[in-house]
Copies of this chain bind each other. A is one copy, B any other.
Amino acid sequence: MCEKEISQAVIGRLPRYFRYLGELKEQNVERISSQELSELMKVTASQIRQDFNNFGGFGQQGYGYNVNYLYQEIGKILGLGKKHHLVIIGAGNLGQALANYMNFEKRGFLVCGIFDIKKELIGKTLRGIAIRPIEELEQFIRANDVDIAVLTIPKNGAVLMAEKLVRCGIKAILNFAHVDLNVPEGVQVENVHLSDSLMKLSYNIHKYEENVERANEKGVQ
C-alpha cells in the first residue's frame, strides 16, 4: 500500500462504501460506474474518485468498477481479512445489546468475553458467552489474543479501565463512556458519544427552524 498518510475522514467513509458494495454484490451487480455509485450513495462522483485515488484508484475508469474486486479490496484495506477478538466490558443493557448483535461477527469481529463487576451477573451467558468477573480480564485478554475492547461502563470508571486495558496490551477501544480516554500513541480509540449526537440533532433542528422563519419573514416583506 502507499506510504502517504490517508485522512481519517477518508477512512471514515470506507465502511460505507464497503456496505453499499456488499449490497450490490448480494444483488449480483457485477460492474458499477462512479456515476451510478454516486447516485446510489448520494455523494458526488468526484468525491468517490478522490477517495479511491488514495488507494491507487481501483482502475477501470470508463468501464466502471468491478463490484466484487472493489468490495474485496476495500475489505482488505479495512483489515477485515484478519479476525478480531473483542471483549465487552460492562454487561448492562448496552453491553448485552452489543453482545447479541450478530452483524459484528459477519465482519470478523468475534465477541469472546464479557466482563462485569456485578456479582449477580457473573456466570450468566449471552449467546453462549459467559459473563466473567472483571478480575479475570487481564489474564483473559492475554490468553485469548484479544485486540479490541468495547467499553460500556459509566464514565467514572472508564478512564482507569482504559489505562488497565492499555497495560494488558489491547490495541483498540470502542468507547461508549461519555469521557475522553487517555491512551498512548498506537492504541486506537473510537468514541460513541450518544448525547453528543443528540445535541448535534438539536442544533440542526433549531438552525433549520430559524432558517425557515427567516425565509418566511423575507417573504412577507
Q: Which of A1, A19, A200, A202 is the most central at the interface, judged by chain B CB atoms within 10 Å of its CB? A: A202
Are B192 and A197 in contact (CB-based, < 8 A)? yes
Selecting from A45-53, A62-70, A90-98, the interface stretch reads: A90-98
CA distance A14 to B196 in the complex (A): 8
Q: Is A140 an interface residue (CB 8 A)?
A: no
The 7 A-B residue pairs with the shortest CB-CB distance, nearest first, are A93-B97, A79-B206, A15-B196, A94-B97, A188-B204, A79-B202, A15-B199
Known A205-B171, A205-B172: A190·B195 in contact at CB below 8 Å: no
Q: Would you give the 0/1 interface string for A92-106, flagging 1 where the beta carbon is closer than 8 Å to chain B?
A: 111011101101100
Are A205 and B193 in contact (CB-based, < 8 A)? no
Count of chain A residues near B, Cβ 8 A: 60
CA distance A161 to B214 in the complex (A): 31
**Among B97, B174, B201, which residue has its beta carbon within 8 angstroms of that of A174?**
B201
Q: Which of A3, A11, A203 is the most central at the interface, judged by chain B CB atoms within 10 Å of its CB? A: A203
Enumerate 24 A-B pairs (CB-CB under 8 Å) in ascending A order. Answer: A8-B200, A14-B199, A14-B203, A15-B193, A15-B196, A16-B180, A19-B196, A41-B180, A42-B180, A78-B203, A79-B206, A98-B194, A103-B178, A103-B195, A104-B195, A107-B198, A109-B198, A171-B205, A171-B208, A172-B202, A172-B205, A174-B197, A174-B198, A188-B208
